[in-house]
């Protein structure tokens, strides 16, 4: 009984947390201790729900974390979101209580590396500006009436289609010359710079000489346009002997190429409009000038006729006819010179129209197509001659090898009386040790085979 009184009392069981309480404490600890942070990683498993909420993972080489972006389309930077894109996300760490799952709630995102690219852009801009590459004094004048327009861009993008459509509509007499290049991706800047350099020396590379160059591409992100921010492209534009119009991206996009070029166009379409005059507008202006000239000549003639009529009705009509002889002759002379000038101007205009017609005919697509056909015929003839020459050389070489084989091969040995001993499997017998009594062998000679048995 006494032992029971002094026995130690059992300690109460420790109080246990429910799962909900534990997860909630973890959530509160994360949200309070960490708060909002910037996280950088690669987007993976992006799922866009009909509710407008997006769910995805951010990962790097060592780990990944689940992310939620509520009302995603209204969040800044949502347009850059795609699987495989590296982004910086401003987010709040949290726990999804229903699953006890760690996640972050994303408030806004931006493409990773944009800040670095902008810094590189500004540094190169300051460097080239300090060298004077942006100065207005070094920029070349864009010709008012170019005959050949060089285009350096991708041959598969929308930019080349827009440029060609506008050139055809505004100035069908102009010949476009395309030098196709890649306009984005690693190494594209070297292709662009090389194209500018070669079109500046067209005779060296058998390219038609252009009066003006359009260099550019359609719109895109800062990474897509970055090749036009490279120093090698800027220096190629600055060194070009032909005026350059830059046409990179949309109106809000600016690249280093825009600052170095002789003229910046907000879009490729605008570059085509700046490069050539509007044919319809030119015809309208010529019509206005013709009407003005005709009206002035008519008015002048009318005034002179009225003056002459007044003189005839005045004092000269009363016996002063002699005094009128010299003014009449001067008037006739002026009228003759004016008529000659008009005829000469008319002939000049007609000749100019004929020259433009011949130029248009020379650059007509049908003419260009015929020239290309003739070129293909010449190439085909060259190819056939080269192929025949190669076949003849190969035939002669084969004949020499056949003669050599006959001279050095086993057949020549047979002709000199030699023979070859073979076993039953067709292998050459090189020694008596290769056969045994009872083996069947065959001896090959010039005119046949003798089969025998070893004894």
Task: Give residue-wise pLDDT tens across range 340-353.
Answer: 888 888 888 888 88
Residue 327 has pLDDT above 70, yes or no: yes
Report how far apart the first and last C-alpha atoms of the chain are (Å, whole number): 121
Residue 256 has pLDDT above 80, yes or no: yes
Q: What angle (nearest 5°) sits at the alpha carbon of residue 73, between those of residues 70 and 77?
A: 100
CATH classification for the domain delimited by 19-112, as one of 2.40.50.140, 3.30.70.20, 3.90.79.10, 1.10.8.350 = 2.40.50.140
Least confident of 96-105, 253-262, 363-372: 363-372
pLDDT at 78: 85
Residue 160 has pLDDT above 90, yes or no: yes
What CA–CA distances, in Å, run from 290 to 264, 284, 287, 336?
A: 35, 10, 5, 20
Contact 205, 198 (CB under 8 A): yes
Give the residue-averaged pLDDT of 397-426.
78
Residue 391 has pLDDT above 60, yes or no: yes
Residue 13 has pLDDT above 70, yes or no: no
Q: pLDDT above 90 covers what percent of the chain?
A: 34
**Mean residue pLDDT across the chain:** 85
pLDDT at 229: 92
Contacts for 95 with CB less than 8 Å, ≥ 6 apart: 23, 26, 27, 30, 101, 102, 103
Residue 314 has pLDDT above 70, yes or no: no
pLDDT at 18: 80
**Domain ranges, ordered by start, for the chain:** 19-112, 116-277, 279-311, 415-453
May I ask the CATH architecture of the domain 116-277?
3-Layer(aba) Sandwich (3.40)
Contact 104, 93 (CB under 8 A): yes
Residue of 97, 107, 89, 73 lying closest to 19 (CA atoms) = 97
Residue of 206, 149, 160 lying closest to 182 (CA atoms) = 160
pLDDT at 122: 86
Confidence of residue 234 (pLDDT cuts 50, 70, 90): very high
* Reported pTM: 0.47
């Amino acid at each position: 009984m006494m032992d029971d009184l002094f026995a130690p009392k059992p300690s109460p069981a420790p109080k246990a947390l429910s799962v909900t309480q534990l997860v909630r404490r973890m959530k509160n600890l994360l949200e309070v201790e960490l708060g909002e942070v910037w996280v950088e990683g690669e987007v993976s498993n992006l799922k866009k729900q009909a509710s407008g909420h997006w769910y995805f993972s951010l990962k790097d080489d060592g780990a990944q974390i689940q992310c939620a972006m509520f009302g995603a389309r209204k969040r800044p930077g949502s347009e850059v979101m795609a699987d495989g894109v590296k982004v910086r996300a401003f987010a709040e760490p949290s726990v999804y209580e229903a699953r006890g799952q760690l996640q972050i709630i994303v408030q806004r995102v931006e493409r990773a590396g944009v800040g670095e690219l902008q810094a590189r852009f500004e540094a190169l801009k300051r460097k080239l500006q300090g060298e004077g590459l942006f100065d207005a004094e070094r920029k070349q004048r864009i010709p008012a009436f170019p005959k050949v327009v060089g285009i350096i861009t991708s041959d598969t993008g929308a930019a080349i289609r827009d440029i060609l459509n506008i050139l055809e509509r505004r100035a069908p007499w102009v010949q476009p010359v395309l030098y196709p290049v890649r306009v984005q991706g690693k190494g594209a800047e070297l292709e662009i710079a090389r194209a500018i350099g070669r079109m500046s020396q067209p005779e060296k590379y058998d390219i038609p000489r252009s009066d003006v160059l359009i260099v550019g591409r359609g719109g895109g992100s800062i990474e897509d346009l970055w090749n036009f921010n490279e120093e090698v492209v800027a220096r190629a534009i600055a060194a070009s002997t032909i005026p350059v119009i830059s046409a990179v991206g949309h109106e809000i996009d600016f690249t280093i190429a825009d600052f170095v070029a002789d003229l910046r166009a907000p879009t490729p379409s605008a570059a085509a409009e700046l490069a050539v005059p509007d044919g319809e507008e030119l015809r309208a202006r010529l019509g206005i000038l013709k009407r003005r000239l005709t009206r002035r000549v008519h008015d002048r003639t009318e005034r002179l006729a009225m003056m002459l009529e007044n003189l005839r009705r005045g004092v000269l009509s009363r016996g002063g006819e002699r005094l009128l002889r010299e003014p009449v002759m001067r008037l006739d002379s002026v009228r003759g010179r004016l008529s000659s000038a008009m005829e000469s101007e008319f002939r000049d205009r007609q000749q100019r129209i004929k020259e433009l017609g011949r130029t248009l005919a020379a650059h007509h697509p049908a003419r260009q197509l015929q020239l290309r056909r003739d070129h293909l015929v010449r190439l085909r003839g060259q190819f056939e001659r080269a192929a025949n020459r190669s076949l003849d050389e190969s035939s002669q070489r084969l004949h020499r090898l056949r003669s050599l084989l006959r001279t050095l091969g086993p057949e020549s040995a047979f002709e000199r009386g030699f023979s070859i001993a073979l076993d039953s499997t067709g292998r050459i017998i090189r020694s008596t040790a290769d056969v045994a009594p009872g083996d069947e062998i065959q001896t090959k000679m010039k005119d046949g085979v003798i089969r025998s048995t070893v004894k």
